[in-house]
Structure 1
Amino acid sequence: MDTVVIFSIGNPGPVNRHSAGHLMLLKLMEHYDASPLVKGGKGKYSSSQVGEGSVIFAKSNCYMNESGQALKDFTASERLSLESIIVVLYDDFENKLGKVKLSPFKAKESHNGLKSIYQFLGPSRYENCFKLGVGIGPKPSNASRDSMASWVLSAFKMDEKQVLVTDGVELLVMYLQEFLERDGHIPDFNKFNAHMTKVFAAR
């Protein structure tokens, strides 16, 4: 299998809902005993690797709407081949807290970080780039653009963060292990997500 990159996006600074991807990346690194993050690309990203480097953890140090630039700098600096698999770890406000969902990218993303990533990708990388959302919802009902922005930038409550770092991390590890065992080949994402939810519930 080619190199797999787990690339988290979020804003710099303290952990909040919008930077849940960064929080979960650090927890994954703990689980896999990865080396410490090292800055690269003029500080636009930090990266780490597991063992011989078949799995690389990387973190955008840019603001959310600049995520594509951070990923661009990372792939260029690391000289990643087009066959390398990239999994973007992000906060999914459409999903319940701690739930995980793997999906392909689409042309019209509602998440600013994913929009930025999609603009960078280009046709040559679409097939090998996926998004792995970690639920931070439920989002506020009937939220305006301003209230939604305030909500995603708010800090997690203690009990919410606990759900993320326990059930959320456990599920995320299961997803990643299954993904690696399948060599990144997921013919049906709906079936894959349903399978993982079932396996997690039966653990």
Structure 2
Amino acid sequence: MDKTLIIFSVGNPGASNRHSTGHYMLKKLVDYFDVKQLTKKSPMYSVTSNADNSLILAKSNIYMNDSGKAFSKFIEGERIRLNSSCIILILYDDFESKLGTIKLLNLKSKESHNGLKSIRNSVNDPGINEVVFKLAIGIGPKPNNASKQTMASWVLSDFNSEEHRVLESAAFDALTTCLGEIIELNGEINDCNKFNAHLTKVLRASV
């Protein structure tokens, strides 16, 4: 791929839980791509890359609601230019999607997910609309008719053993397949809906 592929995970620091699924999957990608372990570059973020810097994996080191501070510090510290030379995927937990599923989405001007909202509001560069995408990792289904307090407790809880199995197998397989398709397309994502429909066909064919 001619573009630099950048994967940036958001979540809470500390113990693993649903809200830190992005970090969990990023660490698995470090092993999958056989790159060096993440190195803490500042209190804000950690990063690693392959030999020619065509792949960069990074994670926020601060709480989800402040993800934008880590992202902007990463962009500044690693001298990332938001132009056609790269594609950036924000790896995050999505309680609206079923566990084991992966979905590529455009970054909206008004995000509901606090981590994504923070990132969207932190970068005053029109290039963000062209090169930054959301890579949603399903953690649902969410509790039925849950109150705000119940939802807060649920996203901060850990997966049970069966859910961990799905995360390790189906979800990670879907993630790596998704990344393979993005690389195959040279990072040229013209329509996320069409891409996701294509990804679904590829995943079904591989079963």
User: Structure 2 counterpart of 1:138, which letter?
Assistant: P
Q: Does 1:37 align with 2:38?
A: yes
Q: Does 1:151 align with 2:154?
A: yes
CA distance in 1, matches of 2:90, 2:82: 16
Q: CA shift at 1:155, angstroms?
A: 0.6
The residue aligned with 2:68 is 68
Per-residue deviation, residues 83-131 of structure 1 (Å, max 9, x unmatched)? 2321100001110001000011112211110100110133232210000
- SS of the equivalent of 1:164 reads helix
The residue aligned with 1:9 is 10
The residue aligned with 2:168 is 165
CA distance in 2, matches of 1:130, 1:124: 11
Select the residue among 183, 194, 203 that pairs with 2:197: 194
Range with greater deviation from structure 2 (129-138 or 2-11): 2-11
TM-score by length of 2: 0.94
Range with greater deviation from structure 2 (174-183 or 127-136): 174-183
Q: CA RMSD in A?
A: 1.0
The residue aligned with 1:27 is 28
The residue aligned with 1:133 is 136
**Corresponding residue pairs, total:** 202
CA distance in 1, matches of 2:191, 2:156: 33
User: Structure 2 counterpart of 1:2, which letter?
Assistant: K
CA distance in 2, matches of 1:187, 1:2: 15
Q: Does 1:181 align with 2:163?
A: no
Q: CA shift at 1:147, angstroms?
A: 0.7
Q: CA shift at 1:82, angstroms?
A: 2.1
Select the residue among 102, 105, 108 that pairs with 2:107: 105
Per-residue deviation, residues 123-176 of structure 1 (Å, max 9, x unmatched)? 232210000000000011111111111110001001101101111111100101
Q: Does 1:88 align with 2:94?
A: no
Q: CA shift at 1:51, angstroms?
A: 2.8
TM-score by length of 1: 0.96
CA distance in 1, matches of 2:106, 2:187: 12
CA distance in 2, matches of 1:67, 1:2: 24
Q: CA shift at 1:177, angstroms?
A: 1.1
CA distance in 2, matches of 1:131, 1:67: 13
CA distance in 2, matches of 1:56, 1:91: 20
CA distance in 1, matches of 2:122, 2:180: 27
User: Structure 1 counterpart of 2:181, which letter?
Assistant: E
- SS of the equivalent of 1:12 reads coil
- SS of the equivalent of 2:13 reads coil
Contact 2:3-2:187 at 8 Å conserved across structures: no
Structure 1 vs Structure 2: percent identity of aligned residues?
52
The residue aligned with 1:46 is 46
- SS of the equivalent of 1:184 reads coil
The residue aligned with 1:79 is 79
